Structure 1
Amino acid sequence: MTETWHNNLKTRNREDLIAAAKELFIRESFLKVNVKEICSLAGISRVTFYKHFQSIDELVFEVQIEILESMTGYVKKAASAGMSGREMLVSMLNAWIEYGIAHPGCIRFILLFDLHYEAYEAGTVLKAQYEAFIGREKEQHFLMHALETGMKDGSLLQDPEPLETAQFIFTSMMALLQKMCMSAGQDAQTGQPEIRIARRFAGILIEHLSADY
């Protein structure tokens, strides 16, 4: 068997473990899931698990990063060429809310992760790696293109600190979506008031940032 085959198998095993962990973490919460359950769902041995991850904490961090990248990627795709900066921002915020409605488990996972790992020592290496990831994401913020485009084309107000504004929007939107998803639980109708509030808040943000405000 070739080296390429082994590398592909290794990559697939890692991806299968992350996918299985993500499914279990969202369904059960990562505080209740163990390595045996992850390996069973993935169809992979514990020996293979520990070839890829030193602990379940490491896998939790991987899932957090995967969810954040998936969410921000989904939101970024809502902006397209030819849109004004304001139109980009409107489309992105609406897409963000739609993501929360479609993936409430992912939003709840992010909330639990943030609450748990702020209070729990997961290891300095893991935390340093995660903080480095967050630092890169803030520097290359996924909302910056819309904000900068809007300032250039005149559809959004001039902002001396666009990165600070982008981070404020992120923090505010995530807080709203987490409240929305926690309220909804398993009943989609229960969360309707929170969905309306999220949409209303997004509208207020757009109105405040618009050049004709």
Structure 2
Amino acid sequence: MKVTWKEQLEQHRNKRREDIIQTAKELFLEHGLSTVTLKDIVGACGISKVTLYKYFNSLDEIIFEVQFEILSAWLERYNQTALQGNSGYEKLQFLLEQILVSKDNTDTIRFIAMFDMRYLEEYPTPELESRFRSFLRRGPHPFLSLLQEGVADGSIRRDIDVKAIGYTISNVVNATKQRMLLRGKLLHLDQDVDPAIVLEHTVNMILAYVKS
């Protein structure tokens, strides 16, 4: 089927938009969110500010798009992972070990850490706040899903608040991995404890709490 002019234009626009996001992501990871400017991004992309504003209204919009992409990639990776285990508890154990042991997503952890630091108390606009919340709630959280499965099959305690515990696990896992991955070398020297041992104990404590 012949591609129409409008389809070619749309493809070009989508590619240009994605190029801006990817270029910005590289700059953010190299220099940090507080340092990179729109001028830096247009310079690295080889476009004008006028062209950039056809796609994004602000630096914050670009930062949020990078965050959406990073979180989407993580969720896609989770969805493609064949969780091993015969119960919700065993699958949760497998997922926790996969997340905390893996060291191949340092850039993801670094960017999420920078995003959290930039938006400590509020989001820049109501529109971005609404989009971000909608993104986070567009599907079931993996920890919540596995906890619900475990409660149903009897492998996980029935007296827990699944939503509260699920997000507690999510925050504990993210914060611990962030600290161990980004500052692990210094923490090892400061505390004389191998970061890998800390991550292992984190998994064990979570599992001990939720086990039926």
Structure 2 partner of 1:75: 78
3-state SS of the aligned residue for 2:21? helix
3-state SS of the aligned residue for 1:31? coil
Mapped partners of 1:3, 1:143: distance in 2: 42
Q: Which structure has more helix as a fraction of its residues? A: 1
Mapped partners of 2:38, 2:196: distance in 1: 35
Mapped partners of 1:155, 1:35: distance in 2: 51
Question: Contact conserved, 1:86 with 1:146, CA < 8 A, in 2?
Answer: yes
Scaled by the length of structure 2, the TM-score of the pair is: 0.83
3-state SS of the aligned residue for 1:51? coil
- Return the letter of the residue paired with 2:21: I
Gaps of 5+ in 1: none
- Show the 5 A alignment for 1:1-213: 2-80=5-83, 83-99=86-102, 101-119=103-121, 122-134=124-136, 136=137, 140-184=140-184, 193-211=194-212
Scaled by the length of structure 1, the TM-score of the pair is: 0.83
Question: Contact conserved, 1:74 with 1:95, CA < 8 A, in 2?
Answer: no
**CA deviations over 1:167-210 (Å, ceiling 9, x no partner):** 1100111110121123147x9x8798223212221122112212
Based on CA coordinates, which of the two structures has the bigger radius of gyration?
Answer: 2
Aligned-pair identity (%) = 28
**CA deviations over 1:7-36 (Å, ceiling 9, x no partner):** 111111111111111111112111111223
Gaps of 5+ in 2: none
* Count of matched residue positions in the alignment of Structure 1 and Structure 2: 206
Compared CA separation, residues 70 and 98, structure 1 to 2 (3 A): farther
Compared CA separation, residues 128 and 7, structure 1 to 2 (3 A): same
3-state SS of the aligned residue for 2:83? coil
3-state SS of the aligned residue for 2:194? helix
